[in-house]
Structure 1
């Protein structure tokens, strides 16, 4: 668990400035933005009123102290002070700062003070809306003063590698996962086996009529990002999660697409071609989609698309598959061995992918928001449905329908994770990475259930044939 720090700000008392603080850290006045307080703030003060912005580290609990020198007119006429007043405080950016509670400090003196418990969130700046209310009336509370002069700036915490690893639970180092390295030889052999499944005639047919390829691009880079934006607004996801979901749904087809196409009776050659084409298109489509929806979401971040990773993905698909095609032409005996291994290897890779995803994201599962879990589960399912509808409208054959459906429904979530980690500061990146992680986990789990259901259905149909003949 992270250590919880308690902070407080300075507040003004008559005759002298007094500092009030608990915990092992206090507000550093050197980090404050020194500005002259607005003259309209007659009664409300934080500290001595000369600083309007205070800094807190991210994801910590703390307090600020607000002082009020207001006295009701009725009480003044009676020659006494009245403490029948209160303040309300609201954060104008709850993702950056949340207000936990407001309590009367019980401080005796000419100035009334209130302790505001806060919880800082992601780095950023949150403006405070402070209202001073007079309770010395017989009717409803009367608003005496409202101030939006003060703000809290939440700064990133320690960004050294050890802290990042502890805070993210290894999520930011997903590419260094030992399970991934253990699976790499198996993945390479499996891709070579897929190369043995490639049909040259099908490739020529796609060159003459690239309708399935165009349908994949339409579904992956137009329909899916639009769905991500709409559903994120519908369930009121925080801005980083919304952008993470949009980028995930703007990612190209994943390498598992042709694996599922093989297991579910799709067109393997089409699946490989769609994955390669969508990966190339992603180099231009992901920045455009991110810029468009980032503006709509109000997130003005400079997103870094990992072109080197995209090129690496292309090479890691093209080289072993080309090698497999060469083996098919020159080494028929080895071809038969690879084709015999392709299905069991594929199932092992699916299970290994699920295990790796759980292992990498175990630390954020406890803190993941229910909204992103619910939305993440729907993303692969919607992609499957969208792809199937587009393929059916285009009049494609059943194997091609399956493939288009799978390619639209299965995104390269690791590429989206890389975009998150390269584009944001560490805590924001790990928070936004919940979206691609949940989508990846949902996609792999749902596709595994579909594959198992498909196998069970085929086995039942085969066992039912002899009984019906008898």
Structure 2
């Protein structure tokens, strides 16, 4: 049997606030929702301890007190033990709007979940500190997801949760494969051997990607007081290995393509150990108790999708010189098409989830690729690397594989929390792609205007 307890809800509808009525649903059919409590304070008739409340809503709840002390000397303190699910805005005496022994506390619901309440009844005296009369922690507010929330609309529109079924991605896959084969033709075996003998550039990339970037994400998320889900999403994104577009940008900006491919492969292998460690460390610091699932299968798939066509391209370079020349001619126009297609696909997939994005995460997401570029360039310059290698290290640190971070979010949390946390990798992916495209265009214009002989 379900008992209905009516609340007055204060709904936010843009710049103006409007009053509306809603129902707080109590499930009293189970043993956990009914207790034989004989204390002073209660919500409703005291027969139920768990109430339902819609997400993203403001409202008020009335607490009754049967304490026989002076009503003017009574006060109540209310605290939500899970502020991300429910926050308590204020507590006031019932006054003329309620019985003498009543108190009204305003609440705001957040993410769907179950928030315990801590309610304290105090007897205050002018000549002494308030005396605790009773404390209750057996009341709960269960915040239920809205039927038309952003995550539902996203699913219905074929957005985030179905990004692998995007038709644009399937159209680009053959182009991506051919382009990776062309990059295999750019690999210089002697340069690869030199990297194995002196792996300084590879080590710098690993250091910056898996130590500096996650630390920056954690510090800036705490500095701006981002919600826990967004903070974790940002940290996981910055813990991801270099993205596959790194060697594409290295080619277009005059970097070392062989180094770029090697750094992407090495960082992806290291990510199998570094991402779980980073997730566990920063998850604990952020107070996230859920088990984080690192998509090892997706990481392996990424490795194979890079290694197979690159190896095929190296074989073509050795055996089929005529086909090699064709691929090398196609590599630049194919790369530009893939960049534009990637931006279009990312905006299309993220349109729904980014409709209600918080300004703080946008500002932070824009800085992540820029910081990665600066950190990579600074470390490479300190190590005395040549300019092409310095460009490549900078690019590889600045461009993360955000799809891996998206996979971690979707595998580890419920849909609503996962989609909210996924704002971070989406913003970082869009920022890095857009910023790198601007850098490529700026470099092209600079060479045409200032270095026409090239």
Note whether the superposition's TM-score is higher than 0.5.
yes
- More displaced stretch, 357-366 vs 444-453: 357-366
Aligned ranges for residues 105-144 of structure 1 at < 5 Å?
A: 112-130=101-119
**Do residues 171 (structure 1) and 160 (structure 2) align?**
yes
Unaligned stretches of 5+ residues in structure 2 = 8-19
Displacement after TM superposition at 1:93 (Å): 3.1
Q: Which residue of 2 aligns with 1:18?
A: none
**Do residues 437 (structure 1) and 426 (structure 2) align?**
yes
Q: Report the secondary structure of 2:374's partner residue.
A: helix
Q: Which residue of 1 aligns with 2:25?
A: 26
Displacement after TM superposition at 1:280 (Å): 0.9
Q: Determine if contact 2:24/2:53 at 8 Å carries over to the other structure.
A: no
Q: Determine if contact 1:196/1:328 at 8 Å carries over to the other structure.
A: yes
User: Counterparts of 1:165 and 1:22 in 2: how far apart (Å)?
Assistant: 25
RMSD: 3.3
Displacement after TM superposition at 1:178 (Å): 1.8
Q: Report the secondary structure of 1:255's partner residue.
A: coil
1:289 alignment partner, one of 272, 278, 288: 278
User: Counterparts of 2:155 and 2:269 in 1: how far apart (Å)?
Assistant: 34
Q: Report the secondary structure of 2:186's partner residue.
A: coil
Q: TM-score, normalised by structure 1?
A: 0.82
User: Counterparts of 1:456 and 1:389 in 2: how far apart (Å)?
Assistant: 25
Q: Which residue of 2 aligns with 1:201?
A: 190
The structure that has the greater radius of gyration is 1
Q: Report the secondary structure of 2:61's partner residue.
A: strand
Q: Which residue of 2 aligns with 1:396?
A: 385
1:67 alignment partner, one of 36, 39, 64: 64
Q: Which residue of 2 aligns with 1:149?
A: 137
Q: Which residue of 2 aligns with 1:334?
A: 323
Q: Which residue of 1 aligns with 2:225?
A: 236
Displacement after TM superposition at 1:152 (Å): 3.0
Q: Report the secondary structure of 1:93's partner residue.
A: coil
User: Counterparts of 1:357 and 1:148 in 2: how far apart (Å)?
Assistant: 48
Distance 1:417 1:325, change over 3 A: same
Higher strand share: 2
Displacement after TM superposition at 1:32 (Å): 7.7
User: Counterparts of 1:305 and 1:115 in 2: how far apart (Å)?
Assistant: 45
Q: Report the secondary structure of 1:65's partner residue.
A: strand
Q: Report the secondary structure of 1:251's partner residue.
A: coil
For these two proteins, the number of residue pairs brought into alignment is 436
Aligned ranges for residues 40-59 of structure 1 at < 5 Å?
A: 42=40, 44-49=41-46, 51-56=48-53, 58-59=55-56
Q: Report the secondary structure of 2:352's partner residue.
A: helix
2:238 alignment partner, one of 234, 241, 249: 249
Displacement after TM superposition at 1:272 (Å): 0.5
Q: Which residue of 2 aligns with 1:354?
A: 343
Q: Determine if contact 2:52/2:144 at 8 Å carries over to the other structure.
A: no
User: Counterparts of 2:238 and 2:324 in 1: how far apart (Å)?
Assistant: 36
User: Counterparts of 2:123 and 2:317 in 1: how far apart (Å)?
Assistant: 85
Q: Determine if contact 1:392/1:401 at 8 Å carries over to the other structure.
A: yes
Displacement after TM superposition at 1:124 (Å): 3.7
User: Counterparts of 2:95 and 2:275 in 1: how far apart (Å)?
Assistant: 52
User: Counterparts of 2:78 and 2:252 in 1: how far apart (Å)?
Assistant: 58
Q: Determine if contact 1:8/1:62 at 8 Å carries over to the other structure.
A: no
Q: TM-score, normalised by structure 2?
A: 0.85
Q: Which residue of 2 aligns with 1:76?
A: none
Q: Determine if contact 1:67/1:112 at 8 Å carries over to the other structure.
A: yes
